Structure 1
Amino acid sequence: MKAEEIGLEEVKVRPVVDQLNDLLANYHIHYQKLRGCHWNVKGKSFFTLHAKFEELYTNAIASIDELAERILTLGKAPLSTYKEYIETARIEEINTVGIEDIKLVEAVLEDFATLIEIEREIMESTAANGDDGTNDMINKFMQFKEKNTWMLRAFCNRD
């Protein structure tokens, strides 16, 4: 498919697709971090955080799929190797083994802040280029993270 087939100009879509691939790379690193948090959380908050991390990584993998499909809809190929993800992402990997439960939550909060920042950048581009479909998708992703940021900050007793 080409961008023109859905009423978008290819020249305007190219920078958006590049931003979507950047977001995709960041989501992959974030997703794997969430899996590690889920597997390695310990302590008094185990049952609460084990379930929460599973909810978050389930949402992240669904978002990854939507992102890749949107990139394809816009006529380009999504990044698809971990080498590309690691080279492209702003989010960095961490070893989640032996990390205190609150520190795991704080790592997720840092990822959320980075993802939201990238999503706001994308929404500026999509608004400027008339790409309402991508804008709606990104807005939905952002709203999920904003709400969960509030919840995780409350969990950490952070104002």
Structure 2
Amino acid sequence: MKVNSLGLPVKETEILVAELNILLSSFQVYYQNLRGLHWNIRGKRFFDLHLKFEELYNDSQLKIDLIAERVLTLGGIPFHTFDDYIKNSKIKVGKNIHNDEEAITLIVNSLTELLKVERVILLQSGTIDDEGTNSMMSDFIKEQEKTIWMMKAWLEEEM
């Protein structure tokens, strides 16, 4: 079995890079959705949600950079065009959302899709003992599960 300079199997690492690029694309769409929600939210909860959406998109921006850097660390090339993002994203594009409940629902649905991709990556990275990717996915999953819980509590929905 051929391994790279990190000691990881080359073929499996290439598959992992492809999944990370799907996650990167999905995060880019999620990030842009959050920007749109931040700009377009209206209503009595404007001030609270405007700040929350900013907090979430700033966090997403950091995660996007971490994912791209992980792709590079693993020897891949991170996607970096809107065309790639749209073709590979698992996240629904949210357009012209002004309503608070619709906005929060979009966030919950987006995070649910991100979790699906992250769990695939977590399984793949664990299989090849890629602790760097594994640790990053574990951190993302833990944070996003908590955010989903909080958003569903705001919506007054059960987990």
TM-score (norm 1): 0.95
Q: Partner amino acid for 1:15? A: I
CA deviation digits over 1:58-108, x for unaligned, max 9? Answer: 1100000000000000011000000010011121212134x3111000001
Q: Partner amino acid for 2:154? A: F
Q: State whether residues 27 and 60 of structure 1, in contact with CA within 8 Å, keep that contact through their aligned partners in structure 2.
A: yes
* Distance in 2 (alpha carbons) for counterparts of 1:142 and 1:26: 15
Question: Counterparts of 1:10-159 in structure 2 under 5 Å?
Answer: 10-97=10-97, 99-159=98-158
* Distance in 2 (alpha carbons) for counterparts of 1:44 and 1:140: 33
Q: State whether residues 126 and 132 of structure 1, in contact with CA within 8 Å, keep that contact through their aligned partners in structure 2.
A: yes
* Distance in 1 (alpha carbons) for counterparts of 2:96 and 2:71: 31
Q: State whether residues 35 and 57 of structure 1, in contact with CA within 8 Å, keep that contact through their aligned partners in structure 2.
A: yes
* Distance in 1 (alpha carbons) for counterparts of 2:137 and 2:17: 13
Structure 1 residue runs of 4 or more that deviate by more than 2 Å after TM superposition: none
Q: State whether residues 23 and 115 of structure 1, in contact with CA within 8 Å, keep that contact through their aligned partners in structure 2.
A: yes
* Distance in 2 (alpha carbons) for counterparts of 1:124 and 1:111: 20
Q: State whether residues 96 and 104 of structure 1, in contact with CA within 8 Å, keep that contact through their aligned partners in structure 2.
A: no
Q: State whether residues 91 and 110 of structure 2, in contact with CA within 8 Å, keep that contact through their aligned partners in structure 1.
A: yes
* Distance in 1 (alpha carbons) for counterparts of 2:53 and 2:142: 17
Segments of structure 2 that go 5 or more residues without pairing to the other structure are none
Q: State whether residues 90 and 114 of structure 2, in contact with CA within 8 Å, keep that contact through their aligned partners in structure 1.
A: no
TM-score (norm 2): 0.95
* Distance in 1 (alpha carbons) for counterparts of 2:56 and 2:139: 14
Segments of structure 1 that go 5 or more residues without pairing to the other structure are none
Q: Percent identity?
A: 37
- Cα RMSD (Å) of the superposition? 1.1
